[in-house]
Each structure stands twice: as structure tokens, then as C-alpha cells.
Amino acid sequence: MEKTVNERNANGRLPGSLIKAIRPYQWTKNLFVFAPLLFGQKLTDPSAVLNASGAFVVFCLLASALYIFNDWIDIEEDRSHPEKKNRPLASGSLSVPVAVSASALLAITAVVVSVRLGYVFLSIALLYGVLTLSYCLLLKRVIILDSMTISAGFVIRVVGGAAAIGVFASHWLIACTFLLAMFLTFSKRRQELLLLDKSAESHRSVLRDYSIQYLGRINTIITGASIVCYALYTVAPETIDRFGTDALIYGTVFVIYGMFRYMILIENPENGGNPSKMLLKDTPLQITVAGWVIYNVVIVYRAQLGALWRSLFAFIS
């Protein structure tokens, strides 16, 4: 009878444990797939919006599948971490067979949806999967390459979003994405060192090769490079020709404030350094991201918005 009761308790926790294991809060990272939709001037194209949304779903499914796989690989290290020990696999609330089965199902579903978005997008999605698997199995243990691999994953999201809607991801967009991702990744490494202190190496072996001082200097460089790169993009001749204005430069204020705000937040180890969780719980960051999106929509789509306003005004009159 005792065994039956335990099994029932485990079954009762299963849905919640699975949801926790797939980490829905991390899906905010996949919003990068919508960047080509915005800057590719496809936001008013229903089919493009639908395809971009499909790409978002694919990367969410793939990411969740790979999160579960990585938790399985890191199960022993996670048990020694003050926060990650509560993850479903590390805590034992989710069994390995169920977790692996769920991971496989998510990956297969992602591939099926990818086929509907075209074979170019499918190849990009598979590249993301292979790169992330390489990170889980090897690259996460190699200093600098671990952070560059994660950052490359963000770039692949952007390129995948562009492929899904049939536009070209400019080199400026790729460079800005890579630098921002590097900033977030190195910030997370620094937070791990602050939080874990002497036990950092037992949690993540690559942390023995990093230092708080080194990561602080790196992030100072990357912060400046990110802001300058974005500012140069907004006033580049091809950008001005494409959008017919140089007004995008004023949106740099959102980038500056957002990065500086994030740097303040990561000074407190209790914030954890997880970009997704920080975005979801920090109101100023949310307002900054929303402001950046709204400002760029107004500038990039000012002609369409102007026509809509005139039509609405004429209808009211």
C-alpha cells in the first residue's frame, strides 16, 4: 500500500514537474526570431507573422528538449547547486525515463513543424540542435568557447527567424545579437561565481578558469562594443536607405539604459543572473524592452501607421 501511495503522489506531481523541466520562462530568449520580422518590414504581412510564430514555437520546443537533456547530463552537478538542486531531475520528482521520453517527443515535434516552414529553416533548426548538443556534451567545459557557443545559438535564432519569413538577416543584426548574447552569457558566469564562491567548480567545471575580475573587464568591453555596434547600425548608409530615415539612432537610449540597468541588477548575487527570469520580474527592464519595440515599430512602419491614422480619421469624420 505504501508503494502505491508514493506512486500516486509521484503521478500527481508529474505534470507540474514536466512543466518545470521544460522551463517555459526561458522561451523569452526565442523572441529573437521576431527581430527579422520587425526590421524586415514584414510585421504587416499575416503570412510572415504566422511563419515567424511557427519559428518561435520550433525554437521553444527544441530548447525545452535540450534543457531536459542537459539536466539529465548534469544531474549530479545540479544536486550540489543551491538552486538547481530543486530541478525536477536533480530532486527526483521527475524520473529519467519520463524526462528522456518527453525530450525526444519535443524534438520530434519541432522537426515536424520545421518541415512545414521549409527545408532551409529545417537545416537551421537542426544546426541549432547540433550546436546545443555539442555544448551540453563538450563545449560547456571549454573557457570562452562555452559563452561563444551560447551566443551563437542566439544568432541562429535570428537567422532562423529570417529564413522562416524569406528575408535576409543583415550582418549588423547578427553582430548586435552576438554581442548582446555574449554580454548576457558572461554576466551569468560572473553571477555563478558570486553565488557559488568556492563550490563553483563542482557545479560547473569551466568556472575554475574564470574569475570575477576577468568577467567584469570582459563585460565592460562588450557593453561598449554592443552600444557602439547598435548605434553604427542605425546610421549605416544601408539602414538609412532601407528605412528612409536616420531616426533609429535615438532608440539607442533604450539599449544603453537596458544594459546599464542589467549591470546594476547583477551586482546582487541574489538576483541569480538568469536573463529570462530577470526580464520577467524586473519592471524597468520590461518597460525598456517594450519602449524599444514600440519606438522601432513607429519609425520603421511610420508610413503604414500614418496611412492607418488618416483612414481612421477620415472614417470618424
Each residue of 239-270: pLDDT tens digit? 999 999 999 999 999 999 999 999 888 887 66
Ordered by start, the domain boundaries in the chain are: 14-239
The reported pLDDT for the residue numbered 1 is 37
Q: Which CATH class is domain 14-239?
A: mainly alpha
The reported pLDDT for the residue numbered 193 is 84
The reported pLDDT for the residue numbered 85 is 80
Task: Please state the three-class secondary structure of the chain as a single string.
Answer: CHHHHHHHHHHHHHHHHHHHHHCHHHHHHHHHHHHHHHHCCCCCCHHHHHHHHHHHHHHHHHHHHHHHHHHHHCHHHHCCCCCHHHCHHHHCCCCHHHHHHHHHHHHHHHHHHHHHCCHHHHHHHHHHHHHHHHHHHCHHHCCCHHHHHHHHHHHHHHHHHHHHHCCCCCHHHHHHHHHHHHHHHHHHHHHHHHHHHHHHHHHCHHHHHCCHHHHHHHHHHHHHHHHHHHHHHHHCHHHHHHHCCCHHHHHHHHHHHHHHHHHHHCCCHHHCCCHHHHHHHCHHHHHHHHHHHHHHHHHHCHHHHHHHHHHHHHHHC
The reported pLDDT for the residue numbered 6 is 40
The reported pLDDT for the residue numbered 154 is 96
This prediction's pTM:
0.86
The reported pLDDT for the residue numbered 208 is 86
The reported pLDDT for the residue numbered 39 is 93
The reported pLDDT for the residue numbered 198 is 66
pLDDT mean values, one per 10 residues, the chain (317 residues): 41 76 90 94 94 97 93 82 79 88 94 95 96 92 93 96 94 94 91 75 78 91 96 95 94 96 82 72 93 95 78 68
